[in-house]
Structure 1
Amino acid sequence: MLGSTLGFGSMAIFIRLASKTIPTWEVAFFRNLFGFAALLPLLAVPALRQPNPAKTFAANVHTHQLPRYLVRTAIGIVSMVCGFWAIAHLPLALAISLTYSSPIFVTIAAILMLGERVRARRWSAVALGFLGVLIIVQPWSHAFSMGSMVAVAAAVLSALVAIQIKQLSAIDKADTIVFWTYAMWVPMSLLPALFVWQTPHGITWLWLLATGLMGTAGQLLWTRALKLGDVSALTPISFMQLPLVTFAGWLLFDEAVGANTLIGAAIILASTFYIAHREAVLARQSATRAPSEAKLPGE
């Protein structure tokens, strides 16, 4: 999880550097293109060990849910571009703090889309998280900027994507989901990028390549971490991304961090941690009850 956090934090820094010379849509396209190029060999390795690699690979990524992937990737690409725009145009600490509000919206989306039951304690955590968002955004003051709402929109759309991934994973394997996500993201991000295209030059190519590699590395390590450990124990480690990008914003872009951002971020992180903790507790309770609730034949 620490490796994943460093990967995502580094990606945010490289996005900011690349966005100095090329538009956001183009940064998103190259992030997807280079990320897909790095991912394909990793997906192909298990198939190469089989007698018929091509057939095995095709079987591993086969799906009957292409229309759902189309919707999931369309929402995901808009969420990505909103997030990238926020990283490029807002102080890094502010943009990343607001992205951590996504679990708050995931909780609400799970109620509306999956029919999950949420009790008073998690509702309290959601309300607390909203308070943190309001403290950062400050809609009541002259400091309010519509740019901060772009970062909030990225978090809301990311929550919808998380629910869709949960639905897709009920049928498809993780590798299938990742493959079709990237396979659709590349052309989806290329088309709008062509209308604002500016050919990268010099070191910008390095920033774009690093954006793709760090994003893919962060994603793979995050998935692996959740498979190995408890989400409530791992979530606090992911919060290390915030001091990383805050320090980078100060060192590389001369950005100061306001008190409202620090207070709001602390509240959002506390809310997110509690939501993750409750979900982990409920998952363990469900797993413990399942064997005892199962009935043997004839009972």
Structure 2
Amino acid sequence: MKKPPSPYSWHPKHWQLGSYWMLLAGLGFAIMGAFVKAGAARFTTSELVFYRSAFGFVMIAAIVYGQGKQIKTPRLNMQLRRAGVGFTALLLFFYAIAHLPLATAITLNYTSPMFLALLSPWLLTGDQPLTRQQRLRLNLCVVGGFIGICLLLQPTFHREQWLAGGVGLLSGIGAALAYVHVKQLGIQGEPDWRTVFYFTLVCTIASGGWMLIDHVTPLRWQDLPLLCGLGLSATLSQLALTRAYRTGNTLTVASLAYSTIVFATLIGIIVWGEALSLLEIAGMLLIIAFGVLSTRSRA
């Protein structure tokens, strides 16, 4: 009797198990964004990046030390490039969250799947080249996504918020480049924890140096729940995201990343009462729809 296929094995009609990790990462990143927005009233962007990264580094370092894992890697240059790109994207993302409504900032950051779909033919090894028809569909999806961006920015931005909006969009491009590096590291056989280890190490050193030069806010006992929540949610989400991109289908995982927008919208409404206009909702739906379609343009 023929044995039925496992629901977790890859098949054109099924997602790989790795893709589901993105849903957990999406919820975690939305929660992290809420902690960032709450902490922005007291801490600078560099301080928030430092505490987020330092918490993750201590966690990962403890696991590495406790299990006797080998942190030496033959892909050090690639790990450092991924960490540098990720650090830049993280700074831009945190700045946008601090200056924009939570759902708006995360929506701009999650334009990354569109940029990822654009970059993948050149930067992701092992993928089939796009046909002319696929390229045309992809370009149309990107144009549609940017129409959604315009609808999202038009009703919500005051003049002084355009800088934050541009920064949020740049964070999406940076995130796409970081995800490409994550996928390439997975192809080269680098484990999840090692990629997160080097990422948090570089972010901790870079943001700590910046913080010392810029500004250091004295810590109070009341700050600990917020900072621990920020660090814990960010670290667990980063691990889930890294595993999703390493073990799942890259573009399927990228489409599931949009779950963060849904979670962030709900948090923004419940916690901060951030009401959304019809144009804002239309813009967000366009970004999500064309972003998902762009990830399918290579099917």
Aligned partner of residue 173 in structure 1, secondary structure: coil
C-alpha separation between the residues in 2 aligned to 1:108 and 1:87? 25
Is the 1:75–1:161 contact (alpha carbons within 8 Å) kept by the matching residues of 2? Answer: yes
Task: Give the fraction of aligned pairs with identical amino acids, expressed as a percent.
Answer: 26
Is 1:220 the equivalent of 2:230? no
Report the CA distance between 1:236 and its aligned residue: 6.1
Report the CA distance between 1:223 and its aligned residue: 4.0
Which has the higher mean CA deviation after the structures are superposed, 171-180 or 184-193?
171-180
C-alpha separation between the residues in 1 aligned to 2:121 and 2:252? 24
Matching residue of 1:124: 140
Is the 1:87–1:95 contact (alpha carbons within 8 Å) kept by the matching residues of 2? Answer: yes
Is the 2:110–2:257 contact (alpha carbons within 8 Å) kept by the matching residues of 1? Answer: no
Q: 2:264 aligns with which of 239, 245, 254?
A: 245
Matching residue of 2:78: 68
Which has the higher mean CA deviation after the structures are superposed, 224-233 or 208-217?
224-233
Report the CA distance between 1:137 and its aligned residue: 2.7
C-alpha separation between the residues in 2 aligned to 1:176 and 1:170? 14
- Opposite residue 5 of structure 1, the aligned amino acid is G
Matching residue of 1:32: 53
Structure 1 residues 234-292: Cα deviation after superposition (integer angstroms, max 9, x where no partner): 6665434323322322332232223332111101111222233345x4xxxxxxxxxxx
Structure 1 residues 209-233: Cα deviation after superposition (integer angstroms, max 9, x where no partner): 1111101111223344567766676
- Opposite residue 154 of structure 1, the aligned amino acid is S
- TM-score normalised to structure 1 length: 0.78
Report the CA distance between 1:202 and its aligned residue: 3.1
C-alpha separation between the residues in 1 aligned to 2:244 and 2:180? 19
CA-based RMSD: 2.8
Is the 1:7–1:215 contact (alpha carbons within 8 Å) kept by the matching residues of 2? Answer: yes
Q: Residues 66 and 237 from structure 1, CA distance in 2 versus in 1: closer, same or farther, beyond 3 angstroms? A: closer
- Opposite residue 193 of structure 1, the aligned amino acid is M
Q: 2:164 aligns with which of 133, 147, 150?
A: 147
- Opposite residue 204 of structure 2, the aligned amino acid is V
Aligned partner of residue 145 in structure 1, secondary structure: helix
Report the CA distance between 1:13 and its aligned residue: 0.5
Q: Residues 78 and 163 from structure 1, CA distance in 2 versus in 1: closer, same or farther, beyond 3 angstroms? A: same
C-alpha separation between the residues in 2 aligned to 1:166 and 1:247? 30
Is the 1:93–1:257 contact (alpha carbons within 8 Å) kept by the matching residues of 2? Answer: no
Is the 2:182–2:242 contact (alpha carbons within 8 Å) kept by the matching residues of 1? Answer: no
Structure 1 residues 68-99: Cα deviation after superposition (integer angstroms, max 9, x where no partner): 33333222211101101111110111111112
C-alpha separation between the residues in 2 aligned to 1:145 and 1:263? 20
Which has the higher mean CA deviation after the structures are superposed, 175-184 or 150-159?
175-184
Aligned partner of residue 41 in structure 2, secondary structure: coil
Matching residue of 1:183: 201
Is 1:104 the equivalent of 2:114? yes
Matching residue of 1:15: 36
Q: Which has the larger radius of gyration?
A: 1
Aligned partner of residue 115 in structure 2, secondary structure: helix
Is 1:193 the equivalent of 2:211? yes
Is the 2:255–2:295 contact (alpha carbons within 8 Å) kept by the matching residues of 1? Answer: no
C-alpha separation between the residues in 2 aligned to 1:209 and 1:196? 20
- Opposite residue 68 of structure 1, the aligned amino acid is M
Matching residue of 2:4: none
Count how many residue pairs are aligned between Structure 1 and Structure 2: 268
Q: Residues 216 and 246 from structure 1, CA distance in 2 versus in 1: closer, same or farther, beyond 3 angstroms? A: same
Matching residue of 2:230: 211
Matching residue of 1:287: none
Is the 2:55–2:228 contact (alpha carbons within 8 Å) kept by the matching residues of 1? Answer: yes
Aligned partner of residue 37 in structure 1, secondary structure: helix
Aligned partner of residue 187 in structure 2, secondary structure: coil
C-alpha separation between the residues in 1 aligned to 2:52 and 2:247? 27
Is 1:163 the equivalent of 2:180? yes
- TM-score normalised to structure 2 length: 0.78
